[in-house]
């Protein structure tokens, strides 16, 4: 496989409203703009086609393939990019999921990742959110190969689970992408810290995209879309990453005789 050492990745902090058609056309326009600036991989935020909230999921839910994924497929093909389509509420067989679809430069669906860890938190006086009241969890890891590098996919709360990132890293991923939508409580506390932690521990690049902050929304996203890396911002540079892994060889130094992280299932859900 031909692997480019350095490539441009775009993370889109999309303004998301209650009008699905507007969200889709805005996303499409921004994917085109990102590709026009040389991006080869583009990332949209969690719930890019609908407001984020348990009261919205069933109204905005679609089957896959459906209206929103059709737009994503066309946007990927027209612009010849890998497109990580944030997430959408998905309906399948009477159940709802929070699902990320990834399309290749020919517009083909490469994978579907259903959020594995549902966002159920209760911080008194601050925020209570229970995705599991409405959604079902996915049960699979999701990775894909590009012409540049291998990519692992998680959605928002998935980022809090260090084991998932460890597994992706062990399975050869150099970049982990997390469409996300942290909020005004957890965002300032953990959004950047988690990304830096996942990147540093696993010697991988991390990219996240959030909806733009909208103070009038029922769930106010923190924003702060990031193209993080512990290492060197903006362009994922795989040669540089290989250098870091060689200089600080924690992968080879792991004590697999004392501990291990294993997966019981994989593939796209
Ligand atoms: N929205 C999420 O899934 C997660 C989140 O906001 C957090 O972990 O904080």
Domain boundaries, the chain: 9-253
Ligand 1 site, CB within 6 A: 119, 156-157, 160, 181-183, 186
pLDDT of residue 28: 98
Q: What is the pLDDT of residues 199-231, one digit of tens each?
A: 999 999 999 999 999 999 999 999 987 755 544
Residue of 45, 57, 87, 119 best suited for mutating to test ligand 1, as the one with most atoms within 8 Å of CB? 119
pLDDT in tens, the chain (269 residues): 345 578 899 999 999 999 999 999 999 999 999 999 999 999 999 999 999 999 999 999 999 999 999 999 999 999 999 999 999 999 999 999 999 999 999 999 999 999 999 999 999 999 999 999 999 999 999 999 999 999 999 999 999 999 999 999 999 999 999 999 999 999 999 999 999 999 999 999 999 999 999 999 999 999 987 755 544 445 678 888 888 888 878 888 888 888 889 888 655 44
Q: Which token pair is 9?
A: 């990745």
ipTM: 0.98
What string of DSSP letters covers 55-79? HHHHHH-B-SSSHHHHHHHHHHHHH
Tallying the residues shown for the chain, one arrives at: 269
- Ligand 1 centroid–CA 46 distance in Å is 10
For 9-253, the fitting CATH number among 3.90.1260.10, 2.40.160.40, 1.20.120.530, 3.60.110.10 is: 3.60.110.10
User: What is the set of active-site residues?
Assistant: 46, 115, 156
pLDDT of residue 242: 86
Distance, CA of 80 to CA of 41 (rounded, Å): 9
pLDDT of residue 265: 67
pLDDT of residue 252: 83
pLDDT of residue 228: 53
pLDDT of residue 231: 45
Residue of 48, 126, 153, 156 best suited for mutating to test ligand 1, as the one with most atoms within 8 Å of CB? 156
pLDDT of residue 44: 97
* Helix ranges restricted to H, the chain: 20-36, 54-60, 67-79, 162-170, 186, 192-202, 238-247, 250-253
What is the reported pTM? 0.92
pLDDT of residue 233: 45
Distance, CA of 193 to CA of 38 (rounded, Å): 29
Q: What pairs with residue 143 in β-bridges?
A: 152
Ligand 1 nearest-atom number relative to CA 194: 8
Q: Which token pair is 266?
A: 């994989």
């Amino acid at each position: 496989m031909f692997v480019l050492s350095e490539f441009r990745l775009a993370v889109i902090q999309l303004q998301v409203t209650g009008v699905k058609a507007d969200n889709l056309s805005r996303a499409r326009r921004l994917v085109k703009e990102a590709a026009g600036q040389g991006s080869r991989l583009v990332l949209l935020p969690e719930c890019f086609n609908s407001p984020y909230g348990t009261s919205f999921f069933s109204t905005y839910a679609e089957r896959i393939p459906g209206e929103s994924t059709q737009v994503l497929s066309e946007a990927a093909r027209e612009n010849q990019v890998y497109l990580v389509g944030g997430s959408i509420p998905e309906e399948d067989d009477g159940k709802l999921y929070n699902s990320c679809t990834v399309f290749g430069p020919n517009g083909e669906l490469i994978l579907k990742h259903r959020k594995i860890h549902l966002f159920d938190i209760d911080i008194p006086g601050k925020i209570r959110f229970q995705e599991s009241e409405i959604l079902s969890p996915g049960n699979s890891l999701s990775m894909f190969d590009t012409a540049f590098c291998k990519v692992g996919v998680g959605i928002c709360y998935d980022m809090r689970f260090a084991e998932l990132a460890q597994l992706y890293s062990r399975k050869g991923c150099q970049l982990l992408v997390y469409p996300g939508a942290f909020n005004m409580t957890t965002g300032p506390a953990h959004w950047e810290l988690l990304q830096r932690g996942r990147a540093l521990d696993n010697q991988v690049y991390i990219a996240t995209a959030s909806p733009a902050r909208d103070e009038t929304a029922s769930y106010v996203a923190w924003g702060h879309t990031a193209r993080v890396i512990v290492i060197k911002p903006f362009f994922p540079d795989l040669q540089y990453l290989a250098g870091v892994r060689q200089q600080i060889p924690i992968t080879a130094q792991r004590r697999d005789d004392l501990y291990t992280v294993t997966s019981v299932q994989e593939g796209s859900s």
